[in-house]
């Protein structure tokens, strides 16, 4: 490299480096002054700067994470897990290749102008806003160690999950793990990335002695992904269970003839994902593995109840329930019904509207980042999950949260009597509590809690339950390729397919002739929907604010009376008003508006004409 070129490179560095003679670190980075005098306490709930990096692919292309002792500098105490230094080689000059560059030699190579290095700081919004002097200290240390590098002094803002994933990936590189990954592990990660990118909730691997296939549940529908040789599919499952599962989450080695469970945690460019692995033998000589995807610490835009799919009447009731300073709000549904997503957005809305309140969450695991809340993950040893101590970690976390001066609490799920009693106790002591429960209707919440050992007299206490909801997710038709019901019927007639004649009759019974023009069926797929005919999922719900009369029915265990009282809230003059109406009726409304396919309504709920027998 010539002297002129070196001078030009150094000039370029100085042009972008903020640490020139006119700008001091202290001038650029200043912590807010300590408050003085009464009434000037800094607001602890002030919003931090929103992250610009929500997934790994948002990061600049980089070669290394510079850690202390490995090409980097010491990150100040207190922010080690929330700050990261990354670097990229822009160019190299000499008789060597890029592969010959070692991170330990970087300082000398940069000083000798053998390597042109670009460096970034990546921190969380909290660190940037609350620890500016510590960030400035890092910048000063980096400038001292790499005076000729192109140093971006303005940090990039990322989530804590992204920074954790960066360190994990760097450890894999340093330890040589990436080079030693087996073909089966690579195949699994390929599946995982595809599933995460495409909104897949579950991966199914089905193996028999003669064939194997992979299915993926996307937008609520199970679709074929690819076929595999049985030996290959078995090898993938074995590698996942034996070599990729978290320590403590498995009890033995892979055995296709046993029921087995595990947890797999993978950092991908798109974000971090936990997989819940469950396998079971299938007659005569096969097995199935189901992997449920749980994105970890996902940053997503806030969605209102309407955005999620709730009707205006639902939204009004849910907002009233969530606005109460005490009492329980319980969201029920089956696995994969979107309960956690609704709970996340509901609590996030409360946190935004009440910045002066302390909101604590207890979750297993923390699936979504909930703004302006303190989220506590619960990790249970798999060996305890079936024993008497299975609830202890979760119960201990709830007890600790109750002692930590909360205004409101989110309990990820009521799983058993202990967690139910603690959630009730928190509500009885004046805290707002939001949680989820597995149940088949809003009234089924009482049955479920009763089976867990909670007395109806307790649940009937006025003020204990602020609101109840039940929901299911329905596929949303692609606006670009969906086909009208009339066109679909004509196509079926041309195919001489009489098996759908009963279905056609049921649609016509439920939807007036004048409104059939608004009913649509799943189309063939297009570019916009990636060939699926579906673009997402929408909530179909039923919501209840218990009245005194309803609570009296609960006290006496009269579920029939309970539902009758709720059904009396219907507004028969307005079929779009979902007050007192079931999630099934909500799905029918979306069907009549061309949002959902009638076949999906029957698949998710019941035959369409059952709407005439809901009160029988």
> What's the CATH code of the domain at 467?
3.40.50.300
Name, in order, each residue with C-beta under 8 angstroms of 551's C-beta and a sequence gap of 6 or more. 460, 461, 462
pLDDT value at residue 348: 94
Same domain? For 418 and 498 the reply is: no
CB count in 10 Å sphere of residue 551: 20
- For the segment 24-31, the average pLDDT, to the nearest whole number, is 38
In the chain, the N- to C-terminal Cα span, in Å, equals 88
d(CA 487, CA 504): 12
pLDDT value at residue 55: 76
d(CA 284, CA 282): 6
CATH of the domain at 240: 3.30.450.90
For residue 258, give both structure tokens: 């046993």
Same domain? For 479 and 599 the reply is: yes
Q: Which of 207-211, 369-373, 375-379 has the lowest mean pLDDT?
A: 375-379
Residue 34: burial class (beta carbons within 10 Å; 0-12, 13-18, 19+): exposed
pLDDT value at residue 21: 32
* Alpha-helical runs (H) found in 495-529: 501-510
Same domain? For 339 and 444 the reply is: yes
Name, in order, each residue with C-beta under 8 angstroms of 2's C-beta and a sequence gap of 6 or more. none
In a domain, 424, yes or no: yes
Give the angle subtended at the CA of 609 by the CAs of 606 and 611, to the nearest 5°. Answer: 75
Which residue is it, tokens 């307790």? 458
Taking only the tens place, the pLDDT of each residue in 461-490 is: 999 999 999 999 999 999 999 999 999 998
Instruction: Give the phi and the psi of residue 6 in degrees, each rounded to 5.
Output: -65, -40
Number of domains in the chain: 4
Last residue of a domain, one of 126, 148, 175: 175
The arrangement of strands across the sheet holding 83-92 comes to 64-65, 83-92, 115-123, 150-157
Same domain? For 319 and 456 the reply is: yes
- For the segment 309-323, the average pLDDT, to the nearest whole number, is 98
Smallest CA-to-CA distance from 370 within 404, 394, 342, 398 is with 342
In a domain, 30, yes or no: no
3-class SS at 279?
strand
Residue 185: burial class (beta carbons within 10 Å; 0-12, 13-18, 19+): middle
Q: Which of 17-21, 433-437, 612-616 has the lowest mean pLDDT?
A: 17-21
Same domain? For 524 and 507 the reply is: yes
In a domain, 51, yes or no: no
Same domain? For 113 and 224 the reply is: no
Same domain? For 315 and 433 the reply is: yes
- For the segment 172-178, the average pLDDT, to the nearest whole number, is 51
In a domain, 549, yes or no: no
Taking only the tens place, the pLDDT of each residue in 560-590 is: 999 999 999 999 999 999 999 999 999 999 9
For residue 416, give both structure tokens: 């058993």
- For the segment 249-262, the average pLDDT, to the nearest whole number, is 89
Query: 566 near 550, Cβ under 8 Å?
Result: yes
Q: Is the peptide bond before 290 cis (omega within 30 degrees of 0)?
A: no
Question: DSSP string of 416-437?
Answer: SHHHHHHHHHHHHTT-EEEEEE
> Is residue 8 predicted with pLDDT exceeding 80?
no
Q: Ramachandran region of residue 281, left (φ > 0), alpha (ψ -120 to 50) or beta? A: beta
pLDDT: is 97 or 530 the higher one? 530
Name, in order, each residue with C-beta under 8 angstroms of 496's C-beta and a sequence gap of 6 or more. none
Q: Is the dihedral of CA 160, 161, 166, 168 positive or negative?
A: positive
Same domain? For 291 and 315 the reply is: no
Percent of the chain with pLDDT over 70: 87
Give the angle subtended at the CA of 171 by the CAs of 165 and 175, to the nearest 5°. Answer: 150
For 592, what's the count of Cα atoms within 13 Å in the CB-facing half-sphere?
17
Q: Ramachandran region of residue 409, left (φ > 0), alpha (ψ -120 to 50) or beta? A: beta
Confidence of residue 173 (pLDDT cuts 50, 70, 90): low
Taking only the tens place, the pLDDT of each residue in 507-517 is: 999 999 999 99
- For the segment 112-122, the average pLDDT, to the nearest whole number, is 91
In a domain, 427, yes or no: yes
d(CA 461, CA 611): 33
> Is residue 41 predicted with pLDDT exceeding 60?
no
| Beta bridge mates, 216 | 203, 223
- For the segment 439-458, the average pLDDT, to the nearest whole number, is 96
| Beta bridge mates, 119 | 87, 151
pLDDT value at residue 322: 97
Q: Which of 245-249, 369-373, 496-500 has the lowest mean pLDDT?
A: 496-500
3-class SS at 138?
helix
Same domain? For 128 and 157 the reply is: yes
Instruction: Give the phi and the psi of residue 384 in degrees, each rounded to 5.
Output: -95, -5
CB count in 10 Å sphere of residue 445: 24
Confidence of residue 352 (pLDDT cuts 50, 70, 90): very high
The residue range of the domain holding 76 is 56-175
Same domain? For 449 and 582 the reply is: no
Q: Which of 23-37, 119-133, 383-397 has the lowest mean pLDDT?
A: 23-37
Last residue of a domain, one of 296, 329, 364: 296
Last residue of a domain, one of 296, 316, 339: 296
Residue 137: burial class (beta carbons within 10 Å; 0-12, 13-18, 19+): middle
Q: Is the peptide bond before 284 cis (omega within 30 degrees of 0)?
A: yes
In a domain, 522, yes or no: yes
d(CA 465, CA 123): 41
In a domain, 41, yes or no: no
> Is residue 269 predicted with pLDDT exceeding 70?
yes
In a domain, 384, yes or no: no
- Measured N-to-C along each axis, helices 230-239 and 183-197 cross at an angle, to the nearest 10 degrees, of 90
Query: 383 near 252, Cβ under 8 Å?
Result: no
pLDDT value at residue 277: 95
Instruction: Give the phi and the psi of residue 548 in degrees, each rounded to 5.
Output: -60, -40
Question: DSSP string of 261-318?
Answer: EEEEEEEETTEEEEEEEEEEEETTTEEEEEEEEEEESB------HHHHT--HHHHHHH
Same domain? For 337 and 455 the reply is: yes
Percent of the chain with pLDDT over 90: 60
Query: 227 near 215, Cβ under 8 Å?
Result: no
> Is residue 553 predicted with pLDDT exceeding 50?
yes
The arrangement of strands across the sheet holding 327-333 comes to 374-377, 359-363, 408-411, 432-438, 327-333, 465-477, 534-544
> Is residue 116 predicted with pLDDT exceeding 70?
yes
Same domain? For 144 and 202 the reply is: no
d(CA 478, CA 534): 5
> Is residue 75 predicted with pLDDT exceeding 70?
yes
Instruction: Give the phi and the psi of residue 120 in degrees, each rounded to 5.
Output: -125, 150
Q: Where are the strands (E) in 299-351, listed by range?
A: 327-333
Confidence of residue 296 (pLDDT cuts 50, 70, 90): confident
Q: For residues 277-295, b (16+ Cβ closer than 10 Å) or e, as one string? A: bebeeeeeebbbbbbbbbb
């Amino acid at each position: 490299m010539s002297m002129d070129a070196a001078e030009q490179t150094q000039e370029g560095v100085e042009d972008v480096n903020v640490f020139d003679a006119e700008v001091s670190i202290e001038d650029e980075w200043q912590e807010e002054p300590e408050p003085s005098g009464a009434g000037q306490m800094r607001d602890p709930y002030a919003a931090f700067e929103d992250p610009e990096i929500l997934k790994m692919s948002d990061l600049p292309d980089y070669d290394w994470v510079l850690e202390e002792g490995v090409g980097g500098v010491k990150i100040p105490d207190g922010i080690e897990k929330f700050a990261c230094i990354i670097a990229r080689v822009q160019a190299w000059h000499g008789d060597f290749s890029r592969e010959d560059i070692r991170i330990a030699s970087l300082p000398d190579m940069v000083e000798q102008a053998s390597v042109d290095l670009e460096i970034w700081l990546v921190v969380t919004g909290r660190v940037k806003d609350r620890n500016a002097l510590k960030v400035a200290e890092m910048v000063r240390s980096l400038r001292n160690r790499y005076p000729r590098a192109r140093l971006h002094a303005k940090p990039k803002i990322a989530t804590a999950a992204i920074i954790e994933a960066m360190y994990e990936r760097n450890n894999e590189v340093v330890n040589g793990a990436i080079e030693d990954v087996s073909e089966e592990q690579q195949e699994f990660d390929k599946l995982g990335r595809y599933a995460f990118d495409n909104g897949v909730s579950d991966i199914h691997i089905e193996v028999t002695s003669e064939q194997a296939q992979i299915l993926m549940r996307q937008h609520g529908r199970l679709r074929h992904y690819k076929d595999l040789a049985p030996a290959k599919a078995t090898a993938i499952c074995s590698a996942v269970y034996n070599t990729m599962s978290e320590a403590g989450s498995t009890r033995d080695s892979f055995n296709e003839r046993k029921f087995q469970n595990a947890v797999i945690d993978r950092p991908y460019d798109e974000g971090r994902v936990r997989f819940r692995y469950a396998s079971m033998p299938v007659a005569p000589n096969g097995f199935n593995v189901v992997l449920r995807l749980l994105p970890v610490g996902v940053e997503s835009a806030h969605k209102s109840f309407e955005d999620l799919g709730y009707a205006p009447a639902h939204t009004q009731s849910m907002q009233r329930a969530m606005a109460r300073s005490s009492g329980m709000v319980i969201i029920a549904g089956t696995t994969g019904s979107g309960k956690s997503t609704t709970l996340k957005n509901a609590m996030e809305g409360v946190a935004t509207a009440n910045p002066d309140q302390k909101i604590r969450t207890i979750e297993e695991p923390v699936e979504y980042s909930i703004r302006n809340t303190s989220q506590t993950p619960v990790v249970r040893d798999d060996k305890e999950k079936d024993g008497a101590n299975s609830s202890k970690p979760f119960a201990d976390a709830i007890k600790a949260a109750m002692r930590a001066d909360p205004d409101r609490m989110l309990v990820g799920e009521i799983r058993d009597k202990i967690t139910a009693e603690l959630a009730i106790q928190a509500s009885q002591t004046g805290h707002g509590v939001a949680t989820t429960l597995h149940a088949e209707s809003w009234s089924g919440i009482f049955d479920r809690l009763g089976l867990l050992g909670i007395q109806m007299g307790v649940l009937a206490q006025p003020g204990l339950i602020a609101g109840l909801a039940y929901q299911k997710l329905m596929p949303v038709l692609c606006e670009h390729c969906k086909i009208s019901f009339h066109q679909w019927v004509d196509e079926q007639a041309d195919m001489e397919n009489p098996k759908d004649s009963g279905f056609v009759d049921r649609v016509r019974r439920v939807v007036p002739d004048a409104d059939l023009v608004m009913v649509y069926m799943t189309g063939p797929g297009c570019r916009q929907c990636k060939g699926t005919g579906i673009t997402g999922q929408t909530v179909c719900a039923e919501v209840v604010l218990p009245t005194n009369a309803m609570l009296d029915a609960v006290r006496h265990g009269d579920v029939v009376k309970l539902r009758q009282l709720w059904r009396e809230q219907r507004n028969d003059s307005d079929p779009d008003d979902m007050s007192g109406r079931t999630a099934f009726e909500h799905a029918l409304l979306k069907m009549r508006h061309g949002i959902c396919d009638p076949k999906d309504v029957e698949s998710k709920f019941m035959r369409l004409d059952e709407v005439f027998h809901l009160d029988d």
